[in-house]
Amino acid sequence: MTKDKIGRKKVQRKVIHGTTPEERFQEIHGMTIEEWNEQQSKAKIGMTPDEWYIKQVKSTTPFDFIKERYGTVTEDDIKLVKDLQLLGLKDGVINVLLDYVAIFSRIGMVHPLVREMGENWHKENLITVEKAIVFVREEHKKYKESSEK
């Protein structure tokens, strides 16, 4: 580090060419904002956000998940979860499905719709949490692309 005549630090100026905040961030830091967030998360809690989410959905029962998200578990909720389990969906996959519905549904958890989605997930052979997460991300990406047209 060099100093000027008065003893202040000399700052080397770098021209940033990015037009969006994301591009400028990547030029300055050499990584995307998503990569930086992942790195920060791993430093704080010892795992990436994806690893944390997978741990959460695998270690929580669907009933506990519904209770955390909506406050109570109704008889219809119990029947829905049992129907999804009878389809062959594992608890972690059911939690990803319920989370997907809770986040992206503007009308709430409509049991017939969730049941139909569960049937589609079973047909798509989404038997692991990881596969379910990839599927949800792909579906969301398709939705975003179609809504931008």
Q: Tens digits of per-residue pLDDT, 70-98?
A: 889 999 999 999 999 999 999 999 999 99
What range does the domain containing 19 cover? 13-46
Note if the pTM is more than 0.75. Answer: no
Q: Is residue 72 part of a domain?
A: yes
Q: Is residue 6 part of a domain?
A: no
Same domain flag for 78 and 109: yes
DSSP secondary structure letter of residue 15: -
| Mean pLDDT computed over every residue of the chain | 85
Residue 11: pLDDT band by 50, 70, 90 thresholds?
Answer: low
Amino acid at position 67, single letter: K
Residue 138: pLDDT band by 50, 70, 90 thresholds?
Answer: very high
Q: Is residue 4 part of a domain?
A: no
**123-143 burial by CB neighbour count: b if 16+ within 10 A, else e?**
eeebeebeebbebbeeeeeee
How many C-beta neighbours within 10 Å does residue 53 have?
A: 16
Are 70 and 109 within 8 A, CB to CB? yes
pLDDT for position 23: 84
Same domain flag for 28 and 61: no
Looking at the 3D structure of the chain, how many domains does it have? 2
Which token pair is 118? 């569960």
Same domain flag for 84 and 122: yes
